[in-house]
């Protein structure tokens, strides 16, 4: 079976610390640069699953890199280079403590809240009479707090400003950037026969300037439907054909796991792991229009270390 990158423990020149996230390992280089290694770990319901997904990290990293390049005219972003298929090196920014979630369609978490009778999400009203996967008249912004551990929490625009998480002027800039980025992502997806359903963006500051940080428009941060057949499936009340991590969540739910206390993660056999890997590659090829070139996985940690060290010397 193809090897997956599930753990890294590098010691790069001028490295100050490392943050091991659910999926990414972020190395701080002298408070100037970040080396973000995108692993093959996969998380759902804020839990890291026991098996890695081969090529997932490469897929996420390369989609994000291409998407950052395609939106750099809207807002400056943190990316400097991608010296390895699984790695982006960029500017060290101080993150804002909120994630900007934007939804064009009533699905996922928003639908589950709506189905349970709620008609506001993060202080934003949702009209009566909607059905699952229906398009909103206008995309809605439903930000969350950025939790260091555990679950991110829904929060309203008013509470973000009142709690001083972001000041009013900068928060309005984040909203504006979010809407423009989502519009660009929607247009790019439409060209490939896809619908960008919802996504999240993260922002930070460096030298007083706002930067777009982290990944964008990947299947971990976004949900995509196939445009072909969308209306027919909506009218029939059928599930949409989608490319996102939602199918992993659905598989977990069907097998009795939603990240709650006492629940056991179901066994991820080789066939399931391979099918998830194939879905990620499928999304890469659909959203980028490029053929996916599988990187060498035999000595993946050695490859990353060599490529990153060579790049850092050039900075």
Average pLDDT, whole number, for the chain?
A: 95
Mean pLDDT throughout 92-107? 97
Write down the pLDDT at residue 151. 67
Distance between CA atoms of residues 283 and 195, nearest Å: 12
Query: Whose structure tokens read 């403590």?
Result: 97
Question: Which pLDDT belongs to residue 149?
Answer: 61
- The percent of residues above 90 in pLDDT, for the chain, comes to 90
In this prediction, residues 169-193 reach a mean pLDDT of 97
Q: Is residue 46 pLDDT above 90, yes or no?
A: no
Specify the pLDDT at position 1.
59
Q: Tell me: pLDDT of 243 over 90.
A: no
pLDDT at 242: 84
CATH of span 95-243? 3.30.470.20
What pLDDT, on the 0 to 100 scale, is given for residue 219?
84
Let me know: does 38 contact 295? Beta carbons within 8 Å: no
Output the CA torsion sign for 8, 224, 203, 313.
Answer: positive
Please check whether residue 165 is in contact with residue 97, taking contact to mean a CB–CB distance below 8 angstroms: yes
Separation of alpha carbons 105 and 136, rounded Å: 5
Asked if the model's pLDDT at residue 148 lies above 70, the reply is no
At 47 the pLDDT is 92
User: If phi over 0 gives left and psi between -120 and 50 gives alpha, with beta otherwise, what is residue 101?
Assistant: beta
Count the Cβ atoms, other than its own, within 10 Å of residue 179.
Answer: 16
| The predicted structure's pLDDT at residue 220 | 83
Give 186-196 pLDDT, tens digit per residue.
999 999 999 99
Output 243 or 164, whichever has higher pLDDT.
164
Binned at pLDDT 50, 70 and 90, residue 282 comes out as: confident
Round to whole Å and give the CA distance between 273 and 212: 32
Among candidates 249, 231, 248, which has minimal Cα distance to 240?
231
- pLDDT band for position 310 (50/70/90)? very high
Is pLDDT above 90 for 155?
yes
């Amino acid at each position: 079976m193809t090897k997956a990158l599930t753990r890294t423990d590098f010691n790069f020149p001028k490295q100050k610390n490392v943050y091991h996230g659910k999926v990414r390992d972020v190395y701080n280089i002298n408070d100037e640069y970040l080396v973000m290694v995108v692993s093959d770990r996969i998380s759902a319901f804020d839990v890291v699953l026991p098996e890695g997904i081969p090529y997932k990290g490469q897929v996420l990293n390369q989609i994000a890199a291409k998407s950052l390049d395609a939106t750099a005219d809207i807002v400056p972003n943190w990316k400097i280079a991608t010296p390895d298929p699984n790695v982006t090196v960029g500017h060290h920014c101080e993150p804002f403590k909120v994630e900007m979630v934007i939804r064009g369609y009533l699905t996922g978490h928003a639908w589950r809240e709506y189905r349970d009778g709620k008609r506001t999400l993060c202080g934003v009203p949702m009209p009566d009479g909607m059905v699952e996967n229906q398009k909103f008249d206008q995309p809605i912004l439903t930000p969350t707090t950025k939790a260091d551990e555990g679950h991110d929490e829904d929060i309203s625009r008013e509470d973000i400003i009142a709690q001083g998480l972001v000041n009013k002027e900068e928060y309005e800039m984040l909203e504006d950037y979010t809407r423009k980025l989502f519009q660009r992502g929607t247009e790019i997806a439409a060209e490939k026969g896809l619908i960008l359903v919802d996504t999240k963006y993260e922002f930070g500051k460096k030298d007083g300037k706002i930067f777009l940080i982290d990944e964008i428009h990947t299947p971990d941060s976004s949900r995509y439907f196939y445009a072909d057949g969308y209306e027919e499936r909506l009218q029939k009340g059928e599930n949409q054909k989608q490319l996102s991590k939602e199918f992993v969540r659905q598989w977990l739910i069907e097998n009795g796991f939603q990240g709650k206390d006492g629940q056991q993660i179901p066994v991820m056999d080789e066939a399931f792991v391979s099918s998830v890997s194939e879905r990620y590659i499928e999304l890469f090829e659909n959203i980028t229009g490029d053929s996916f070139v599988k990187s060498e996985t035999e000595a993946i940690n050695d490859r990353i270390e060599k490529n990153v060290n060579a790049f850092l010397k050039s900075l």
